[in-house]
Structure 1
Amino acid sequence: MLDRMNQLIKAYINEGLERIEDPAIMVKQYMRDVKEQVLRAEKEWNRAKLEKKTLEHNLSAARDLFAKREEQAVIAIQAGDEELARKILLNKKEIWERMNELEKRIAENDEVRCQKELEFEQLQTKYTQLQEKNLELIVRVQAVRASKQMNGRNEKVDGQTDWIDKQVMNPEWEKESEIERELAHLRERVQSNS
């Protein structure tokens, strides 16, 4: 008995929600959400590009310092100061280790940067598709309204108007549910990467 009541309540709530949902408003909200994700992905991609430039700059500076330490060690040995030469060579070894670390971080950054670029491009494509679907929806809604206005002036002939309305609106509802699933999937991916 309680299960049947529960089902009945759920059915009425879902029916009410479906009646108040406006497809155009839902698509606009999806577009805002995806646009926000696009901006966030672009920001992360730009951050990864900037980090690569910084790492490359640091690696270049370390290489220059490495070469300079080599020259300084030679000068210290020529001057007969082996203790100074040891300190310089010790510093040179530390610089070498730093260079290796920077090279590893650059390689890791390249992977992350490529991934962020791909995510950005996918979201940008998705946003473009949503814009196109939104335009399709607007055109379909306008066609239905125009059809209803014309049929309001003229008599309905054998229920053709109802058939046209269903044909115009049904494909869009199917697309919207498809869009909604894709958006939910993208949101999960973006949130899991954040």
Structure 2
Amino acid sequence: MAFKRIRDMFVASINEGLDKIENPRVMLNQYVRDMENDISKAKHTIVKQQTIAQSFKGKHEEADKLAAKRKNQAQLAFDAGEEELSKKALSEMKYFEQKAREYKEAYEHAHKQLAELKEQLQTLEVKLRDVKDRKHALIARANAVKAKEHMNASFNKIDSESAYREFMRMENRIEEMEARVNSYAELSASSGSPYSRVEYAKEVEEELEKMRAKKVGLEKQPAAGNE
């Protein structure tokens, strides 16, 4: 009985675990789809980040060119004696130089984030391949667990004590049958064949004498014919 209680507790714990798993195939396929969606979102984010990085790069290059252009204009104005115009050009040069630095920093930051996103994407893709490779094996293992659980549940319905009693009863019946068969065989062996009974011995001997006499008579007939 103690074994039965332990077995019941063990089966119950397995049932609880399987209830949480629900349908392994459905759940694992859902996990794969979730990861594929994450990868799709990551790729979309990378495309946007690439666009942002390229935009900052373009703005940096444009501001750098404008700063160089204003510097050249300031020099030309100064050489022409137009200091006010030169000062204005220099002021704009400083503005574009500042913008160029800001866009450069923004580009470098965006480029760094882009590299991190690409690395994360590669990690996700590796994990997805691993999950797909292991999915079928996990489904097979889960199905095996469920099949074994069903077998255990069926086994749990059997009363081991009553089964043992029935087994012992059948063994006793077989032993009784064997005893009856052996007793009958011994009785038959001791009684002997009905055709070999002692009271027939004299009559059998007489019949043999008749057969011998007849044989002797037959052997003498050819000799008498020759005479």
TM-score (norm 2): 0.53
Return the structure number with greater relative CO, CA threshold 8 A, min gap 6. Answer: 1
Larger radius of gyration: 2
| 1:33 maps to 2:34 | yes
**Do the aligned residues in 1 keep the contact of 2:24 with 2:139 (CA within 8 Å)?**
no
Q: Partners in 2 of 1:27 and 1:20 — Cα distance?
A: 10
Q: Partners in 2 of 1:124 and 1:16 — Cα distance?
A: 30
Q: Partners in 2 of 1:19 and 1:114 — Cα distance?
A: 39
Matched with 1:23 is 24
What is the 5 A alignment of 1:41-52?
41-52=42-53
The one-letter amino acid paired with 2:108 is A
The one-letter amino acid paired with 1:75 is L
Residues 97, 44 of structure 1: CA spacing in aligned structure 2 closer, same or farther, 3 A cutoff? same
Matched with 1:60 is 61
Residues 16, 51 of structure 1: CA spacing in aligned structure 2 closer, same or farther, 3 A cutoff? same
Offset from partner CA, 1:5-44 (integer Å, 9 cap, x none): xxxxxx99x8397177111101001011111111111111
Residues 103, 130 of structure 1: CA spacing in aligned structure 2 closer, same or farther, 3 A cutoff? same
Q: Partners in 2 of 1:19 and 1:56 — Cα distance?
A: 52
- Alignment gaps of 5+ in structure 2: 1-11, 153-227
1:50 Cα offset (Å): 1.7
SS of residue matched to 1:80: coil
- Alignment gaps of 5+ in structure 1: 1-10, 149-161, 167-194
Residues 75, 141 of structure 1: CA spacing in aligned structure 2 closer, same or farther, 3 A cutoff? same
**Do the aligned residues in 1 keep the contact of 2:36 with 2:128 (CA within 8 Å)?**
yes
**Do the aligned residues in 1 keep the contact of 2:54 with 2:107 (CA within 8 Å)?**
no
1:138 Cα offset (Å): 5.4
C-alpha RMSD of matched pairs (Å): 3.1
What is the 5 A alignment of 1:67-78?
67-78=68-79
